[in-house]
């Protein structure tokens, strides 16, 4: 007998055993509407009572378009879909409709609009008892589709948006030195977190998109514009309140449930539990934050190669440091598109600030601030260039009755609140 026949015989032995002749174990499957195991109306009512009337039967606003695509109601829905706040405040919607051939956004059957950890725990227990799919959504910016699932029970944390500032926070069970921090509910978005912390004279590291949920970004790592200065959003996590799959409300930090704490700091979104509150380290607020946007279009393939060379050199000399945070995108049609956010920059008014070089999509550029960067962009032929100046600089210019000037000396042609415009430059 050769080796091949022997291996084939050995592989077939398990199929001949009496153990395999018996009935297989029943396959575990989630309950769906129409199944005998799907909760009854009375059971849904029981959950509703347990969460204080916060159970929502989900109806997608897109149903109006399926039944009457030419109606005014459908037109209003599509106008609303251009507004991220409209999307985030609707339990049935997410910020993306899905990925082609990967997943499609589908609303849950029911949602618990959770107000606290007890509501979340009740939803988790109900889903476990009735074998329901469970989804969790805060900001709704999950581009992998993890914040929605058809025929599921959704834990909607949007109402949990409280923000508390701490001058001296110490994690539960820890003996560390107290430190400034902020506790943020799982439903809060970064715009509100930034505003609350800045009002207290502090800065918290988060993301660049203001409608993204705080909890989702932290659990996914959270690289932001100023991460080279302050680290990722997850690096600032001091403590989390989280509901685990057994329905228990747990505190996780470096001293209490440290393994869970480690996993929550970028360990895979909401796969380890439902986070209900995060406490993040805060930092001293700089006197000045800067941001600039620019687009550059080269005139030829050779010029585009020179532009890339010049930008890489510029990054090495001026941006590769903790002061500047950046993203870069080289687009089709020989175009480079960017945004600046600079931390630690010294403004002409003397205040330290934050900024960086942050290149995004391939649209038309609008603003730029930083002389060396402007020189690079002008040299390659900028489509449009502008800048931002600090309020102190603008006030000084008005007092002297002269036009404001951006770094690099170009004259401002028009003023807008927080923004100035320049003549397009092409060299």
Q: What is the mean pLDDT of the chain?
A: 77
**Tokens coding 72:** 């005014």
pLDDT for res 37: 95
Out of 46-50, 338-342, 387-391, least confident range? 387-391
State how far the Cα of 73 lies from the Cα of 61, in Å rounded to an integer. Answer: 9
pLDDT tens column, 246-261: 999 999 999 999 999 9
pLDDT for res 283: 94
Residue reference for tokens 């550029």: 365
pLDDT over threshold 60, residue 171? yes
State how far the Cα of 79 lies from the Cα of 22, in Å rounded to an integer. Answer: 59
**Tokens coding 64:** 């109006």
pLDDT for res 414: 28
State which of 100-109, 203-212, 254-263, 375-384 shows the largest mean pLDDT: 254-263
| Residue in 369, 386, 382, 384 with CA at minimum distance from that of residue 421 | 386
Q: Is 238 helix (H, G, I), strand (E, B) or coil?
A: strand
pLDDT tens column, 290-301: 666 667 778 888
pLDDT tens column, 24-42: 677 889 999 999 999 999 9
Q: What's phi and psi for 63, nearest 5 deg?
A: -60, -30
State how far the Cα of 154 lies from the Cα of 226, in Å rounded to an integer. Answer: 33
The crossing angle, in degrees rounded to 10, of helices 371-380 and 301-314 is 170
Percentage of the chain beyond pLDDT 70 is 70
pLDDT over threshold 70, residue 140? yes
């Amino acid at each position: 007998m050769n080796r091949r026949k022997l291996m084939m015989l050995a592989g077939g032995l398990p199929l001949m055993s009496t153990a395999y002749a018996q009935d297989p174990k029943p396959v575990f499957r989630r309950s769906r509407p129409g199944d005998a195991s799907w909760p009854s109306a009375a059971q849904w009512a029981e959950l509703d009572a347990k969460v204080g009337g916060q159970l929502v039967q989900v109806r997608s606003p897109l149903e109006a378009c399926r039944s009457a695509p030419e109606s005014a109601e459908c037109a209003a829905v599509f106008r609303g879909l251009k507004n991220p706040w409209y999307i985030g405040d609707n339990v049935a919607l997410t910020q993306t409709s899905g990925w082609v051939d990967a997943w499609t956004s589908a609303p849950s059957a029911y949602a618990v609009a959770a107000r606290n950890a007890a509501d979340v725990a009740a939803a988790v227990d109900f889903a476990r008892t009735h074998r329901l799919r469970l989804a969790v959504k805060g900001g709704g910016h999950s581009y992998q589709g993890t914040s929605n699932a058809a025929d599921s029970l959704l834990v909607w944390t949007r109402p949990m948006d409280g923000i508390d500032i701490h001058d001296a926070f110490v994690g539960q069970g820890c003996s560390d030195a107290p430190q400034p921090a902020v506790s943020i509910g799982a439903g809060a978005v970064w715009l509100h977190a930034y505003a609350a912390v800045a009002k207290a004279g502090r800065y918290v590291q988060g993301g660049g998109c203001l409608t993204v949920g705080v909890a989702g970004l932290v659990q996914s790592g959270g690289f932001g514009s100023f991460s080279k200065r302050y680290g990722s959003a997850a690096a600032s996590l001091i403590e989390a309140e989280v509901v685990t799959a057994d329905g228990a409300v747990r505190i996780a930090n470096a001293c209490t449930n440290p393994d869970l704490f480690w996993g929550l700091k970028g360990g895979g979104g909401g796969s380890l539990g439902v986070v209900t509150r995060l406490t993040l380290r805060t930092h001293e607020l700089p006197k000045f934050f800067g941001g600039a946007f620019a687009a550059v279009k080269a005139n030829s393939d050779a010029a585009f190669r020179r532009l890339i060379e010049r930008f890489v050199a510029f990054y090495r000399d001026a941006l590769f440091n903790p002061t500047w945070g950046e993203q870069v995108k080289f687009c089709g049609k020989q175009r480079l598109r960017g945004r600046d956010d600079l931390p630690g920059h010294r403004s002409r008014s003397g205040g330290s600030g934050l900024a960086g070089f942050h290149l995004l999509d391939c649209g038309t550029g609008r603003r730029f601030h930083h002389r060396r960067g402007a020189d690079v962009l002008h040299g390659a032929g900028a489509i449009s260039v502008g800048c931002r100046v600090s309020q102190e600089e603008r006030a000084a210019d008005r007092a002297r009755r002269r036009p404001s000037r951006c770094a690099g000396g170009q004259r401002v042609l028009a003023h807008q609140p927080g923004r100035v415009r320049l003549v397009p430059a092409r060299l």
